[in-house]
Structure 1
Amino acid sequence: METGRGDDGYTDLPKRGRVRKSHPRLEAYGTVDELSSLIGYAASITSHEDLRQILHQIQTHLFHIGAQLAIANHRVGDIYSMVGELEKLINVYERELKPLNRFIYPGGSPDAAFIHVCRAAARRCERRVASLSDIEEVDPAILTYLNRLSTLLFTLARTANKRSGVGDREWVRS
């Protein structure tokens, strides 16, 4: 619905009234929305049904987190239980992979490469939420979730590559 109320660079936040669109709270939940969109695209291109389902579940988590960030001091769901879900998935999918001894380049198969894009976006979300937490109260579980999420996305990208027959391309110092 078009209202034109945001044409002046301000928007309405529940319990806060009108705030600048450059406000750190908008930046935080806006990057969560961007990440959810990127994850939706990754889910649409992967041929691995289990990875698609995980990516869709992550989108649900991110909607909870975005809502919680949009409305200060408003709890939407148990974020720590979502962290536990991510940790279980990390443990399951790491078992499929060889341990790393070096950094790897993001890339490989199309779905793995895009999951790496999602991982980098998750790190950006984490930085934006950390910046918000410097000036306002933020549920610390959100930062924990975003940190675990980037680890899971890294693991899922490596899994997608392995299943596609693409090896990790290791960075070698020259």
Structure 2
Amino acid sequence: MGFRLSKIYTRTGDKGETGLGDGRRVPKDHPRIEAIGEVDTLNSQLGLLLAGLTEHSARNPGLNELIEVLEPCQHRLFDLGGELAMPVYQALDNAEIERLEAAIDRWNEELGPLENFILPGGSSLIAQAHVCRCLARSAERRCQQLNALEPLAGVGLAYINRLSDLLFVAARLIARRQGIAEILWQAAAKPKA
């Protein structure tokens, strides 16, 4: 494979526009660029989660399964960014969604039913998994906004939806594998009449 970036700055975006893979130039706040940016932010935060899981996995081998499932997601998010940048490009397929669903089902079986809403915390890894979940939902919203203007082909919307589900279950599984009780939501006391 040849060099992908021979020069980091091009000055072509200095006036608030950027180029897409199909040759179009769009404003940097175009819904397509917003969607690409949200997917990129999620990918960066997922990298932080994976770094944390890797650091803790030597002491807690139960985290290795999470790493094995989540590492490919970084590559698939890059593929999704490519699909957004080059509208005719299709990289994601149903097999990847099925892979996420299989992990969700396997992990949910270990976890059992959720009996209450949980808060994002308990450890830095649990909280980071929830940050990733929230960013996946944000990326999904941005992709849906784009889809309303320029319909998206492929399974990108389904993938990002399933990834957010996976990250929620991953946060719960991290808590279990770390031996940390989930923080259950406690409703505010009702005002006395």
Q: TM-score, normalised by structure 1?
A: 0.94
CA RMSD across the alignment: 1.2
Cα distance between partner residues in 2 of 1:77 and 1:154: 21
Q: Residue in 1 aligned with 2:80?
A: 65
Is the contact between residue 15 and residue 71 of structure 1 (CA under 8 Å) also seen in structure 2? Answer: yes
Cα distance between partner residues in 1 of 2:83 and 2:155: 11
Q: 1:32-83 CA distances to partner (integer Å, 9 max, x unpaired)?
A: 11111110110000122221222211101111111011111321242x2111
Cα distance between partner residues in 1 of 2:91 and 2:97: 14
Q: CA deviation at 1:140?
A: 5.4
In structure 1, what residue type is equivalent to 2:87?
Answer: A
Does residue 1:51 correspond to 2:66, yes or no? Answer: yes
Which sits farther off after the overlay, 69-78 or 32-41? 69-78
In structure 1, what residue type is equivalent to 2:163?
Answer: L
Q: Which of residues 55, 73, 86 in structure 1 aligns to 2:100?
A: 86
Aligned-partner SS, 1:11: strand
Cα distance between partner residues in 2 of 1:17 and 1:98: 49
> Which has the higher Rg, Structure 1 or Structure 2?
2
Q: Residue in 2 aligned with 1:21?
A: 28
Does residue 1:131 correspond to 2:145, yes or no? Answer: yes
Q: CA deviation at 1:93?
A: 0.8
Q: 1:63-109 CA distances to partner (integer Å, 9 max, x unpaired)?
A: 1111011111321242x211111000001111221311211101112
Cα distance between partner residues in 1 of 2:98 and 2:143: 20
Q: Which of residues 33, 37, 62 in structure 1 aligns to 2:40?
A: 33
Runs of 4+ more than 3 Å apart: none
Structure 2: segments with no counterpart, 5+ residues:
1-7, 57-62, 189-193
Cα distance between partner residues in 1 of 2:178 and 2:47: 20
In structure 1, what residue type is equivalent to 2:36?
Answer: Y
Aligned-partner SS, 1:96: helix
Number of equivalences:
173
